[in-house]
Structure formats: structure tokens, C-alpha cells
Amino acid sequence: MSTNLTPPTDSEPVSVVGPTLTARGALIEERLLTVLRRFAPLALRVTLAVTFIWFGALKIAGVPTLPAGLIAAIMPFIEPTMSVPVIGGVEVVLGLWLLTGWRQPLVLAAVMAHLTGTLLVLIIRPDVAFQGGHPLLLSVEGEYVIKNVVLLASVAVLAGLTHTRAAIGRPHTS
């Protein structure tokens, strides 16, 4: 009657909770990831669209908002009563276009261009974006502009997913 007293090797997984619970956890994780892969890009696209439509509509309606002041600050050569509603209209169109999903790579490029343009405040009007000219002390306006970096990253993720899905559907040619 011999007993094997050798410890398990690195290739033998040891589970404290048992194989059944570990397998269930892996199954739950895989199902969650499947749902996220399917719905997260749509949720991201829709929330971006709603944000663009909402903010654009406020500009069109003439509601005094922080972005209206920023537009006036970086485009002093155009009357704000003209530039703000035009930018708002562009945002509403981009938002509606995002909602449709039509020609998604093109709309994502347009959204990225628009968001990149908003960062011009940091260069053209640093007196508006920073407190006392200090590059690490953002004003409220500067904070508003910097949050667009997160929106840009979101659009980049969608663009990457769109490209990946398009590539998956294409036949491979060598």
C-alpha cells in the first residue's frame, strides 16, 4: 500500500474551490464576455450619438452653455450667433449618423475630426483653457475640452472594432 506524497507540479492545477465551481466561474465569465462583445460596441455608439445630438441641440436652441463660449473663443472671426448653431447642427447630424450605423468608418472619422478640432482651444486660447497660464492647472473650460480625449478614445475603439469586423467578413487573399 503505497501513497503518493509528492506535491503537485506546475502543470497540475490545484483548485481550492474545486473543479465544479471553477468551471462554473469560467462559464459565467465566458457568457458575460460574449454578451459584452455583442452589445458594448452598440451601447458605446448609441451613447456617443445621444451625447452629440443632445449637446448639438442645446447649441441650436441658443441655450447658454460652456461649449458655446468655447466656440466663440476659438472662432472670434465669426459671430457666435452664427457659429454656435452651425456647430450644433453639425453635432446633431453626426449624432444621427452615428445612430444609423450607416458607413460607420466614415462617420467615425468625421466624429474624430470634430473632437480633435475641439482640442484647438488648448493651443489657440490657452488663456481660456488653463489657470494663470499654468499647463497643469486646467480651468473649467479646459477640463471640458480635455474630457473629449476620452470621447476620442471611445471613437477609436469603435473604429478598431468596425475595422476588425469588416476584416473578419472579407475572404483572405495571399
User: Which SS3 state, helix, strand or coil, does residue 18 take?
Assistant: coil
Angle between helices 19-60 and 66-74 (to 10 degrees): 60
Q: Which three cell numbers stand for residue 25?
A: 466561474
CB–CB of 146/121 below 8 Å? no
pLDDT tens sequence across 124-140: 889 989 998 888 899 99
Q: Residue 86's pLDDT is what?
A: 94
Average pLDDT over residues 148-161: 92
Name residues whose C-beta falls within 8 Å of residue 106's C-beta, 6 or more positions apart in sequence. Answer: none
Of residues 162 and 89, more confidently modeled? 89
Model confidence at 26, pLDDT cuts 50, 70, 90, reads confident
pTM summary value:
0.74
Domain segments of the chain as ranges: 40-167
pLDDT value for 7 = 57
DSSP-assigned letter for residue 133:
G
